[in-house]
A and B are shown apart, each in its own frame.
Chain A
Amino acid sequence: MFQLTRLTVKGFRGFTDQREFTFDEPVVMLVGENHRGKSSTLNAVEWCLFGDDCVGKKSGIRERLDWEVANRRAADGGVVVEAEFSGPDGTYSVRRDLSGNRRRAGGSLTVVLPDGTSIQGEAADGRLAALFRTSFRDFITTVYQHQETVRAILTNEARERNDAIDRLLGLSEYRGLLRGIRSAEVEKAQRSMEGAFEKLRIRAEQSIRTFDNLIREEKAKAIDQGLRPEEISEQEALRLAREIGEAIRSLAQDLELPDLQVPWPQRYEETEKFREWAKNETDGLWRRAPDVARQEALAKEQQQLGELKGRYKATKEREAQARLELEAFVRQNGHATALAERLQEQERRVAELDGRTREIDKRVGLMRDAIDYLRTVTPGAANRCPVCGSQVADLLTHLQTEWEQALSTEIEDLSKQRENHVFQVDGIKSLRSQLEKLAKDARDAGAELAGWLGRVGGALGREIGKDDDPENLMGARLGQIDQELQRVGQAIERKRQAISGSGGIYDQLAKLRTIDQFIRYEQKRRFVERIWESPEVAQLNDLRDEAARLAEDVQVIRSALSTVSREEAQDKIQAAGESLSEYFGRMADHPAIPGLTMEVTEDTRSGLNSYAFRSTDGTDPTPILSQGDFNCLALSIFLGLARAAGDAQPFAFLMLDDPAQSLGPATKRRLVAVLEDVAAWRKVIIATPDDELRELLMANVTKSKAVYDFIDWTEHGGPKVVRT
């Protein structure tokens, strides 16, 4: 067995300057407050022996993921840890350096044998492995109990506790591997692929079903159209196409159109194009057919002539009406000459009356002047006529009387007569205007009628004489058109039957289209089926199989890991068995738990180990265990395994980091009693910040002790350590 005798640490974690530790007593204590380098001292032994196996992800210790090996403030950035071991053949020195590139956490190794031989590099790794025959896993199971492990056990979370116990048993790697495998979610990825494939399959299936329905529909349509099931074929399509071609050629002849070039389809694939040609050609022939053109021309003529006849008739009626009105007027009022004569007469009379009125006006003027004069003269002179000077008795009165009675009456009478004659004149003038308008209207109507007559002649293609009845002529022509339309219509109908009647070209084209559709759907359906038989689908299935094999292989490996991990745990638990129960009983001294057994099962969901504890009465004690009890449990497992390892373990020392976590005074005393026994078969190295534990160890452990007091720690100087 190999005993740790000396340790030199420089630049490692909390250490800057070099420090040396001698392990020359059965019990060595590293004491002091937290963060002073006690744990780093123990870690240095570990790192010296195992390099990067105890650092980062490889360690399997979560807290070590971002571990820094080199102290940032160390002079020249170098790390040196040297451990000396006394072995069967003498002193072995193991030195690990880390300088320059800090990323190589493992550093470089030198092993010096008792005979002075120095081995370096890979050879040193090999020699170390051969010498100590211990993996990092085994080391932390039976030599060095980590503080982190104890802390992790002191938890109520079953998962974390199982994790910590696995670590304690040196089974972290299994756990790490199983975690990694589980996180890869290979089965989930495989399921996702299966899901995607299923979507594709469903899509293909839906296509097939859709085409099946369409094919059924087209088949039913074909049967309705008179086709037998066996006629729904490419062969039949070609035969039908030939029939249609012949029918079109015959139609062209019937329609007296020049010889047609039919693009006979030679293969089924040409029938679609042929169908298009047949439809267009049939429609085109029809439009160009003489009968149809004739029919269209006749219909146009019929329509135009009908309109013309209507217009002519209306114009004729208007002209007759205008003439009648003019005649009625003349009968009633006389013609223009008579009106002129009457007007002249009336105007003459008005002029005459105007003359007489002027005469009277003269007398009236004289009369008025005389009256006015006589009114102004002296009464004596009032009887003398101002014109002739005659004396007239009561001349004024006489003049006034004549004015008032005779003249005014005459004037009024003349005025009335004049008014009457003027009224007559106005009346005759109005009649004259009316006569002029009626005569113009009659003339206009006549001119319009003549215009329409010209058009009728143009429409009928002949002169319309005055003995001709244009309406009857038009009527006769319309009758001819009717007859001819009937005749042409009958001829066209016969030909139309050949196109769109039952069994006609369109009918045949519809059948051909149905066959085409049916065949096309069948082809598409076959295409989908062929896709499923394609190399691509075969490759897809191969990939599904590949994924299934990978998933199954991973599952087998996972299962193997789980089984082996559990078996190893069982072996170790069995080995530690009685010691575990004994140490727990002694340390915890729980009144309700006289003894303890541990068992391991598989967590079927994760494949990881799941640990359970049983009191000797068969019950589960964990609900009543305190934090201190869990610590005792952790210590019991560790000490039990260490004891079970016996001499098979190459190292003759144990390292305990802060073993008194959560322990009360009595439990600490009991722990010390257990360590007293352990010291009989192993050197014990304890790191603790607990003064009480220190005192108890000093007072109760009968083996000689060395104490390293970590009294301070500074950033530049590292730990300040004093040996007492």
Chain B
Amino acid sequence: MGYKQRVAAEIQASGRRPEDRLALWEAILRSFESTGAEGVQDDLAKRMGHIRRRFDALLVKLEDML
């Protein structure tokens, strides 16, 4: 079994939301295979950034309300 499959098996064994986690793992792999470690960093930063942007927009709205 290649390392990708081994890691996938380990992730599956973690017990919660395996589909989501496997999908993330595959996305990380794709980024790594195309642009290496930096690609992984960018991908994850982008995902978190997307959450953060929505978060910040709501935060501003709530701060105005307060």
Contact = CB atoms under 8 A, between A and B. Distances in A.
Interface string A162-187: 00000000000110110111011110
A568 interface: yes
Contacts of B49: 189
B45 A536 contact: no
B41 A180 contact: yes
A531 B21 CA distance: 34
Contact of B65 (A58, A196, A531, A547): A531
A550 B47 contact: yes
B28 A557 contact: yes
Contact of B14 (A176, A180, A528, A556): A556
Contacts of B33: 58
A193 interface: yes
Given A547-B48, A556-B21, A177 B59 contact: no
A539 interface: yes
A553 interface: yes
Interface string A48-62: 000000001110100
A193 B55 contact: yes
A612 interface: no
Interface string B1-20: 01100110011001001001
Contact of B37 (A179, A189, A190): A179
Interface string B45-66: 1011101101110110111011
Contacts of A185: 45
Contacts of A190: 48
Nearest to A184: B44
Contact of A177 (B24, B28, B47): B28
Contacts of A176: 32, 36-37, 40
A203 B21 contact: no
Contacts of A544: 55
B36 A556 contact: no
A204 interface: yes
Nearest to B33: A58
B24 A553 contact: yes
A200 B59 contact: yes
B3 A536 contact: no
B32 A177 contact: yes
For chain B, the bracket of interface size reads: 35 or more
Contacts of B25: 557, 560
Given A189-B48, A557-B21, A200 B40 contact: no
A564 B6 contact: yes
Contacts of B36: 56-58, 60, 176, 180
Nearest to B42: A184
A63 to B, nearest CB: 13
For chain A, the bracket of interface size reads: 35 or more
Contact of A553 (B10, B17, B34, B51): B17
A60 B40 CA distance: 13
B36 to A, nearest CB: 3
B38 A57 contact: yes
B58 A536 contact: yes
A180 B37 contact: yes
B7 A557 contact: yes
Contacts of B45: 184-186, 189
A61 to B, nearest CB: 10
A180 B11 CA distance: 18
The interface residues of chain A, by DSSP majority, are classed as helix
A58 B37 CA distance: 9
Nearest to B48: A189
A179 B44 CA distance: 12
Contacts of A338: none
A564 to B, nearest CB: 5
Contacts of B58: 536, 539-540, 543
Interface in A524-577: 528, 531, 534, 536-537, 539-540, 543-544, 546-547, 549-550, 553-554, 556-557, 559-561, 563-565, 567-568
Contacts of A539: 54, 58
Contacts of A550: 24, 47-48, 51
Contact of B61 (A204, A536, A553, A559): A536
Contact of B66 (A56, A203, A568): A203
B7 A561 contact: yes
B15 to A, nearest CB: 9
Contacts of A137: 3
B11 A531 contact: no
B21 A183 contact: no
A135 interface: yes
Nearest to B13: A560
Contacts of B35: 57
B32 to A, nearest CB: 6
Contacts of A189: 45, 48-49, 52
B51 A200 contact: no
A207 interface: yes
Contact of A193 (B3, B29, B39, B52): B52
A526 to B, nearest CB: 13
Contacts of A559: 10
A200 B63 contact: yes
A547 B51 contact: yes
Contact of B24 (A179, A540, A557): A557
Contacts of B52: 189, 192-193, 547
B37 to A, nearest CB: 4
A184 B32 contact: no
Contacts of B44: 180-181, 184, 186, 554
A543 B11 contact: no
Contacts of B55: 193, 196, 540, 543-544, 547
B1 to A, nearest CB: 10
Nearest to A557: B25
Contacts of B38: 57, 180, 183
7 contacts: A176-B40, A180-B31, A190-B48, A192-B52, A196-B56, A203-B66, A553-B21
Given A176-B36, A189-B45, A534-B62, 5 more contacts: A176-B40, A184-B44, A186-B45, A197-B59, A556-B11
Interface of A: 56-58, 60, 135, 137, 173-174, 176-177, 179-181, 183-186, 189-190, 192-193, 196-197, 200, 203-204, 207, 528, 531, 534, 536-537, 539-540, 543-544, 546-547, 549-550, 553-554, 556-557, 559-561, 563-565, 567-568
A-B pairs, 3 with minimum CB distance: A57-B36, A180-B40, A184-B44
